[in-house]
Amino acid sequence: MMRFERVCAGYGGVPCLHDISASLREGELIGLIGPNGSGKSTLLKVAAGQLAPNGGGVYLGEACLCGLSVRQIARKIAYMPQSRAVPNITVRQLAAHGRYPHLGLGRAMSKGDWAIVDAAMETAGIARLADRTVSDLSGGERQRAYIAMALSQHTEVLLLDEPAAHLDMAHQFALMEMLSRLKSSGKTVVVVLHELALALTYCDRLLLLDRGRLVLCAAPKKALSSGMLETTFGIRIHAAAEGGYTFAPR
């Protein structure tokens, strides 16, 4: 589905990512994890075509992103960045922005487009707030509104940078359950997570970054048994017999 081939990237000549290679499969929920400053957001930007790599490439099937237009990429990859503007429009209008890559020059929305938008809001758990202004929402509600916009793009790949931020624990679990359902429809979902318990519980595989390098790509159980999570984060992780995880300083 999507693969990184020896990707190097950075800002203003300062390298942030070094020789990243990995393959992501269709219908897979990938957790992108690592300490602060490890390059998670930068890798997601490269995967979304928002930042051109200095070396290597990102491929969707056999097509390199470098050979696709912005519009073509947006029809295949939906990207929700960590920081976003807060427009003075309704939730439904915001979600409708996700349809723009699929519209003609006049950007006229068809009944089918609006049906996709309404379904996306329902999936994101924000349908009841469709007519509310985005700027009037709480942080968690706003987060779900932006997820609805990403879902409205109706893409093969969904890239989410810290979507669990601003959500309480109940809504964090609800978010991960939603992403699990999306992967069953064939979507490839990549999510940046700081909550290791969520990553270990819900993700099919974890990509662990440390100082711009990919140091581990493995299923949660293998990642946990490798000791790399504890070494990289400087913590101890204990898997409880009854399920769940506990974390402590090393």
The DSSP H or E segment spanning 133 is none
Q: What is the CATH number of domain 24-41+74-249?
A: 3.40.50.300
Q: CB atoms < 10 A from the CB of 96, how many?
A: 24
Residue 106: what pLDDT? Answer: 79
CA distance 87 to 89: 6
Query: 72-114, pLDDT tens digit by residue?
Result: 999 999 999 988 888 999 999 999 999 999 998 878 999 999 9
CA distance 114 to 143: 20
Say if residue 242's pLDDT is above 80.
no
Residue 105: what pLDDT? Answer: 81
- CA distances to 104, 114, 130 from 29, rounded to whole Å, are 32, 27, 28
Residue 218: what pLDDT? Answer: 97
Query: 176-197, pLDDT tens digit by residue?
Result: 999 999 888 889 999 999 999 9
Model confidence at 171, in pLDDT bands (50, 70, 90)?
confident
Residue 49: what pLDDT? Answer: 96
Contact 94, 151 (CB under 8 A): no
CA distance 132 to 152: 18
